[in-house]
Amino acid sequence: MNRAATVAIGLALLAAIGGAQRLVPDADLTYRPIATSGVVGEEVRVLPYTFRVDGVDLGRTLRLEKSFGDQTMTTGGVWVVVRAGAAATTEQVTLGTAVLRSADGAEFAVSDRVLGLEGESLQAGIWRKGALAFEILPGQVEGARLVISKARYSSIHRLNGALGPAVEIDLGLTRERLAAAGPTVTIKESAP
């Protein structure tokens, strides 16, 4: 083989290495939590717990029923309240981190103004019902999905969700659902 061909093959191999490097998925994709998908009304079972969404309500304001008087809360967006139930599989666990992931990938954290189901202790086999309250921009409601990851056991604290179990629920949120949203959604605050 002459020298020119050797150089050409060498350069082609270098280009191929560069191309292959670009095709390697990044760490965010490689180590993302492994999600089990479901829809409203369906029981979704992951290692730490079983989770089910019973319904979704939308409103411009949130009325929170507390032990010591009710409170009404406004938002710069719209309230999305996910009514759900969950039961631990074998040991006490909390749901962990809950977000509404919009169609464009933005992640809206569960509201820190409301104590919701995400922080409640779940016991093995005992269903606990509650709500997850989110504040989200109206333009992001359509197609938003509920994603719950980083389950927290009382025995193990593993805040990194890499390759851990996750639940992803299609909430069936559409523009029509948003247009039909009531002025106020009412929920009962979870016990701390």
Partner 1 sequence: MSPHGRGVWRWYGGIAAVVVSSLLIAWPLGGLEDAVKEGPRQISLGQSVTGHRVAIKPGRVAFTTKDPLPWSDAGQKGRYLVLDMDVTNVSPQAVNLTELYLDFDVHADRYHVDPIADLYRQAVLRDDSQGGQINPGMAEKVRFAWVLPASVSEPRQVTVTMRDETWEPSWSLLGYSSGVSLWFKGEVMATLKARVERG
Half-sphere exposure at residue 186, Cβ-oriented, CA atoms within 13 angstroms = 3
Stretch that binds partner 1, among 44-52, 104-112, 122-130, 144-152 (CB under 8 A): 104-112
SS3 category, 71? strand
Using CA atoms, how far residue 77 sits from 42, 98, 108, in Å, is 28, 18, 11
Q: Is 15 in the site for partner 1 (CB under 8 A)?
A: yes
Residues 163-192 that bind partner 1 (CB under 8 A): none
Using CA atoms, how far residue 157 sits from 18, 86, 123, 127, 165, in Å, is 39, 20, 17, 23, 14
Among 9, 39, 103, 106, binds partner 1 (CB under 8 A): 106
Q: Is 99 in the site for partner 1 (CB under 8 A)?
A: yes
As a whole number of Å, the end-to-end CA separation of the chain is 77
Q: Is 31 in the site for partner 1 (CB under 8 A)?
A: yes
Residue 146 near residue 131, CB atoms below 8 Å: no
Q: Greatest CA separation found in the chain?
A: 88
Stretch that binds partner 1, among 68-76, 83-91, 145-153, 167-175 (CB under 8 A): 68-76
Among 25, 26, 155, 157, binds partner 1 (CB under 8 A): 26
Stretch that binds partner 1, among 35-43, 46-54, 66-74, 171-179 (CB under 8 A): 66-74
Q: Where do contacts with partner 1 occur on this chain (CB under 8 A)?
A: 7, 11, 14-15, 17-18, 21-22, 26-28, 31-32, 71-74, 76-77, 99, 102, 104-109, 111-113, 135-137, 140, 160, 162
